[in-house]
Structure 1
Amino acid sequence: MIKSMTGFGRGESRDSVRHFVVEIKSVNHRYNDIIIKMPKHLNYIEDRIRKHIKNKISRGRVEVYINLEYMDDSTAKVQVDLPLAKSYKEAIEMLNEKLDIRDKITIDLIAKFPDVIKIEKQEEDEDEVWNCLKNGLEEAINKLIEMRIREGQQLAKDIKMRAENIMDIVKAIEIRSPEVVLEYKNKLKNRIEELLGDNYELDESRLANEVAFFADKSNIDEEIVRLYSHINQLISALDSDVPVGRRLDFLIQEMNREANTIGSKASDIIIKNKVVELKSEIEKIREQIQNIE
């Protein structure tokens, strides 16, 4: 079952101290790019978060937003830097004296200066924080994956339909290919007779050699066989339980290469038109698989 790389999930978890809200969204990306935005004082669990996500999601740009709200202020402590406050007060008094200003120095004024009053979070137990966060993270990831699966099912349905269209086009090219050689032989024979008249005796062996050369030059049997193989592999991969985005991308590249080769070998307008249809369907699939994990 294939998955899209686009999705969104939200989860919550709490204990007696903290309340986490986790939101995850993912979009297309060639690799597994994880971006985590959370309170700075939780940076020590970033590796755990990243590893947990990578175990569940193998491809895509994943953005994680973690919001933390404490249930009470027991983890916060107000710190006052008295020496720094005293230095600020002395500096203001010196300015008053030097500039002959008699403004009052208030607590409000001193408290506004940087780092005089700081709120520090008390050190928390890493395992305790992680155990609380993990539940919300897991919920968000599961909802994200559910959305990716739903969209992946729609993508697989569309790709299978287009793969069947490609199969029909390749079959039409396969049927047409031997007819082209026969038509070439008849046209060449008629042209020779038209130019040289009835008195000229046609050399059947030379004609056969010319037709054989044309047939060999325009032969597309190998390309058709490989296209059938690539199509069957593509359809089979859509039912796989493992990420197949990169494999599908490779198959589409190979299919496009075979289509180009057929187009370059073909001198028949019907086959050339079929190649245009073929490449159009391949390109539509290529666009779709850019969003597959």
Structure 2
Amino acid sequence: MLTSMTGFSRVSVDKDWGTLTVEFSSVNSRYLEVFVKSGRELASEDPLIQGAVKKRLNRGKVQVRVELSWASECRMGRINPDVLSSYLSQVKDVVLSMGDGSDELPLNGILGLPGVLDLPSASSSSMKDEISSVLADLTDRGLDELVSMREIEGEKLLDDISGCLEDYQAIVSKIGSLWRGCADNAFESLRERVQAVADRFEISMDEGRLAQEMTVIADKWDISEELSRTDSHIGQFKKLLDERGPRGRKLDFLLQEMNREINTMGSKVADAEVRWLVVDGKSLLERIREQVQNVE
């Protein structure tokens, strides 16, 4: 089973003090990157959320958004009478000292001064422990849903990758079959051309030397090693697909090796049909590579 690095989840809960929502989104990344945005009131919970994510996931760029929406009765601020009284006294003294005869005090402005209006805050309320516990539960639920979605996406990736890999294996097998015939024909054609040149100029050929040179040339056309290594890479690739745990980097490495082998085949064999098969094979490898970029 493969696990994708792409996923999304959103969970929330309603309480007397308001609504708490946690949203997870993840995309592919070379390493595990976790970014938490919880706001000033819940910033102290960020390390705990990051730790929970790192225990469940291995790779991917994960963004976590935490939103706390207070209930209307909690959203209303409370006036601190002692602070307000102190401000009013100071403002009244200033107004009287100006001697403009005005008895009106700028109450709206005073309410905005620091300490006059106590706004709801998770860090200072008695609900801190409850909010922290609820957030931990929501984080676990959200991660469960995120992992589930990543596994579903991974199954789709596995189907597509497996299909492309079977097609690629068929192309490599066909290249191997064509190459054997092409090599024999090219070898015989070269021998005939050499013989024709020798006859034209009435040159006596050393059969032993000719055989030696032809063997060297034949080695340059030989792709048996590339075919053998490719079969080994495909076998390892299939084995990795059946394993569990993070495998994206290993799969990507095998694809690089497979691409190197088929490039060598294309450079060694001059047959047009083989060249087109090489192009088709490289296209399949590129499609597999694009899918593997999303594998954890």
Q: TM-score, normalised by structure 2?
A: 0.84
Give the structure 1 partner of residue 24 of structure 2.
24
Pick closer, same or farther for the CA change 1:111–1:224 going to 2, 3 Å. Answer: same
Q: Distance in 1 between matches of 2:247 and 2:111?
A: 59
- 1:279 equivalent in structure 2: 282
Mean alpha-carbon deviation: is it higher for 79-88 or for 216-225? Answer: 79-88
Distance in 2, Cα, partners of 1:91 & 1:282:
82
Please name the residue that 2:191 is paired with.
Answer: 189
The equivalent position to 1:160 in structure 2, one of 136, 159, 162, is: 162
Q: Which residue type is aligned with residue 208 of structure 2?
A: S
| 8 Å Cα contact 2:23-2:66 kept in structure 1 | yes
Aligned letter for 2:175? I
In structure 2, C-alpha distance between the alignment counterparts of 1:146 and 1:63, rounded to whole Å: 17
- Aligned AA (1:211): M
> Which stretch has the larger CA shift, 193-202 or 208-217?
193-202
Structure 2 CA distance for aligned equivalents of residues 140 and 208 of structure 1: 71
* Matched residue type, 2:131: V
| Residues 247-266 of structure 1: pairs in structure 2 closer than 5 A | 247-266=250-269
CA contact (8 A) 1:170 1:224 kept: yes
Percent identical: 33
Instruction: State yes or no: 1:57 paired with 2:60.
Output: no
In structure 2, the partner of 1:144 is 146
> CA 1:257 to 1:97, structure 2 compared with 1: closer, same or farther past 3 Å?
same
The residue aligned with 2:46 is 46
In terms of mean alpha carbon deviation, does 144-153 or 204-213 score higher? Answer: 204-213
Partners of 2:134 and 2:94 lie apart in 1 by: 47
- Of 227, 232, 236, which residue of structure 2 is paired with 1:233? 236
Q: 1-side partners of 2:79 and 2:116: how far apart?
A: 10
> 5+ residue gaps in structure 1?
none
- 1:88-167 correspondence to structure 2 within 5 Å: 89=91, 93=95, 97=98, 104-113=104-113, 116-119=116-119, 121=121, 122-123=124-125, 128-167=130-169
- Check the 8 A contact 2:198/2:205 in 1, yes or no: no
Task: Work out which of the residue numbers 165, 175, 200 in structure 2 matches 1:173.
Answer: 175
What's the CA shift for 1:205?
2.4
Tell me by how many angstroms 1:70 deviates.
4.5
Q: Distance in 1 between matches of 2:86 and 2:249?
A: 59
The Cα shift of 1:147 comes to: 1.5
Q: Does 2:206 match 1:219? A: no
CA-CA distance at 1:224 after TM superposition? 1.6
**Matched residues in 2 for 1:87 and 1:289: separation?**
70
Q: Secondary structure at the match of 1:258?
A: helix
**1:223-256 per-position Cα deviation (integer Å, ceiling 9, x unaligned):** 2222111111212222222121111111111111
**1:47 Cα deviation after fit:** 1.3
Q: CA deviation at 1:85?
A: 3.0
User: What is the CA distance between 1:282 and its match in structure 2?
Assistant: 0.6
* Structure 2, unpaired ranges of 5+: none
Relative to structure 2, which stretch is displaced further, 3-12 or 117-126? 117-126
**Match of 2:74?**
73
Alpha-carbon spacing, 1:183–1:23, altered in 2? closer, same or farther (3 Å): same
Q: Name the CA distance, whole Å, in 2 between partners of 1:183 and 1:35.
A: 62
Mapped partners of 2:195, 2:75: distance in 1:
104
Change (3 A) 1:74 1:158: closer
Give yes or no for contact 1:10–1:139 (8 Å, CA) kept in 2.
no
Question: Normalising by structure 1, what TM-score?
Answer: 0.85
Distance across 2 between alignment mates of 1:87 and 1:174: 96
Contact 2:13/2:19 (8 A) holds in 1 = yes
Q: Is the 8 A contact 1:181 1:211 kept in 2?
A: no
**3-state SS, counterpart of residue 29 of structure 1:** coil
Q: Secondary structure at the match of 2:246?
A: coil
Amino acid at match of 2:142: A
- SS in structure 2 at match of 1:73: helix
- Taking the aligned partners of 1:250 and 1:90, their CA distance within structure 2 comes to 77
Q: Provide the C-alpha distance between the structure 2 equivalents of 1:152 and 1:204, rounded to a whole number of angstroms.
A: 60
User: What amino acid is aligned across from residue 193 of structure 2 in structure 1?
Assistant: R
